[in-house]
Structure 1
Amino acid sequence: MFLEGQPGARLWRGGTPPPPDDLPPERVARFTSSFGVEAYQRLRRSTAVVIGAGGTGSVAIPMLARAGVGKIVIVDSDLISPSNLERTHASFPEHIETPTLKAALARDHVRRIDPDIEVIAFDGRLPQRSIVEEVAQADVLLGCTDQHTSRLVLSDMARRYLVPAIDCGGLIEGANGLVTGQIIQLVLFRPHDPCPRCRAWSMICECARS
Structure 2
Amino acid sequence: MSTPLKIIGTDERYSRQERFAPIGAEGQRKLKDSRVLIVGAGALGSGTAEMLVRAGVGHVTIIDRDYVEWSNLQRQQLYTEQDVQERLPKAIAAERRLRAVNSSVEIQGVVADVTVYELEQWAAGQHLILDATDNFDTRMLLNDYAMKHNVPWIYGACVGSYGMSMMFEPGMTPCLHCLMDTVPIGGATCDTAGIIPPAVQMVIAYQTAEAIKWLSGNQPALRRKLVSFDLWTNQSTALDVTAARRDDCPSCGKAATYPYLEAANHRKTETLCGRDTVQIRPAKPQQLIIAEVAARLGHAWGSTVQSNDYLLAVHIDSYRLVMFKDGRILVHGTKDPVEARTIADRVFG
TM-score range for the pair, normalised by the shorter chain length: 0.7 to 0.9
> Which residue does the alignment assign to 1:31?
17
Q: Which amino acid aligns with 1:201?
A: D
Q: Deviations over 1:87-128 (max 9, x none)?
A: 111322222221101101111121011112111111113235
> What TM-score comes out, normalization by structure 2 length?
0.47
1:190 maps to what in 2?
Answer: 169
Contact 2:64–2:112 (8 Å) recurs in 1:
yes
Shift of 1:197: 3.1
Match of 1:201 in 2: 181
**Aligned residues of 1:136 and 1:163 also touching (Cα < 8 A):** no
CA distance in 1, matches of 2:159, 2:82: 28
Deviation at 1:202, TM superposition (A): 4.4
> Percent of pairs identical after alignment?
27
Q: Do 1:165 and 1:190's aligned partners in 2 also have CA atoms closer than 8 Å?
A: yes
Length, aligned pairs only: 173
User: Which of 94, 97, 103 in structure 2 is aligned with 1:109?
Assistant: 97
Q: Pick from 2, 16, 41: which aligns with 1:53?
A: 41
Structure 2 counterpart of 1:71, one-letter code: H
Letter of the 1:165 counterpart:
W
Say which of 76, 80, 96 aligns to 1:92. Answer: 80
Corresponding residue SS for 2:104: coil
Q: Residue 161 in 1 paired to residue 149 in 2?
A: yes
8 A contact 1:122–1:131 mirrored in 2: no
Aligned-pair CA distance for 1:157 = 1.6
TM-score w.r.t. the length of structure 1 is 0.76
Distance 2:46 2:154 in 1: 16
Task: Please give the secondary structure, in 2, of the residue aligned with 1:39.
Answer: helix
The answer to whether the 8 Å contact 2:143/2:177 transfers is: no
Say whether the 8 Å CA contact 2:79–2:94 is kept in structure 1. no
- The separation in 1 between residues aligned to 2:103 and 2:83, in whole angstroms, is 22
Match of 1:188, SS state, is: strand
Q: Residue 43 of structure 1: SS of its match in structure 2?
A: helix
Whether the aligned pair in 1 keeps the contact of 2:37 and 2:130 (CA below 8 Å) is yes
For residue 60 of structure 2, the aligned residue among 72, 84, 89 is 72
Cα deviation 1:23-60 (Å, max 9, x = unaligned):
x8301100011121010000000001001111111111
Taking only aligned residues, the RMSD between alpha carbons, in angstroms, comes to 1.9
For 1:171-190, list aligned pairs within 5 A: 171-172=159-160, 182-190=161-169
SS in 2 for 1:69: coil
Q: C-alpha separation between the residues in 2 aligned to 1:147 and 1:99?
A: 22
CA drift at 1:203:
5.1
C-alpha separation in 2, matches of 1:131 and 1:196: 18
Change (3 A) 1:162 1:99: same
Larger RCO, structures 1/2 (Cα 8 Å, 6+ apart): 1
Offset, 1:130: 4.8
Q: How is 1:108-147 mapped onto 2 (pairs within 5 angstroms)?
A: 108-147=96-135
**In 1: Cα distance, 2:24 partner to 2:55 partner:** 13
Residue 197 of structure 1 aligns with an amino acid whose one-letter code is H
In 1, Cα distance between the equivalents of 2:183 and 2:31? 36
> Could you list the runs of 5+ residues in structure 2 that have no partner in the other structure?
1-9, 185-242, 244-349
Q: Does 1:44 align with 2:32?
A: yes
Secondary structure at the aligned position of 1:38 is classed as helix
- For residues 69 and 196 of structure 1, the distance between their equivalents in structure 2, rounded to whole angstroms, comes to 26
